[in-house]
Structures are given as C-alpha cells and as structure tokens.
Amino acid sequence: MERIEAVVSGRVQLVMYRDFAQRKARGLKLVGEVQNLRDGTVRVVAEGPKDRLERYIEKLHVGPVLAQVRDVSVTWHPATGAYRKFSIIYA
C-alpha cells in the first residue's frame, strides 16, 4: 500500500474538481481526502495499491469537463492507514 499527496493547479476550483476527485477515488477503491487550498489549488491525499494510484493520477491530470488542469505535483509516501473512506474536506 502506498500514499500520494498531490497538489493540482490550474482552473480547478468552482468546477466540481473535488467531487470528480472523490468519485474517481471511490471508483478505484482508494481512501483519502481532497480539499481546496486558499491559493486556488486543490490538495489530494490518497492511499491504496500503487497501480490504482497511478491510474488515479492520470485521472487527476484530466479533471472534470470545466477544469483546466495545468499541473499535478505528486509525492509518494508509505501508506499510513489513517483513512477509512475518501472524503471531501470543506474548509
């Protein structure tokens, strides 16, 4: 099990990006969270098998129809087991 922490930049807020990220993560049976950051980016943390995380990263690069993803910066870590589901953080 692995963990990714990704910061997605571009036009990714107010375009349903968090909902998209949650639906795709749940479809791949990943756990974690997604949240908007004050600087206009979106932060994603996801845990699961490496092959599923790699497919998830590909989806993050595309985003929902109204998004314009400029960059997805990903760091890899060992999974922590801190999550039980994939949630949207509203903060």
What is the set of active-site residues?
Answer: 18, 36
Amino acid sitting at position 47 = E
Q: Helix, strand, coil: what percent of the chain each, to 5?
A: 25, 40, 30
Tokens of 80: 């922590």
Provide φ and ψ at 59, rounded to 5°: -65, -35
Residue owning tokens 């870590």: 77
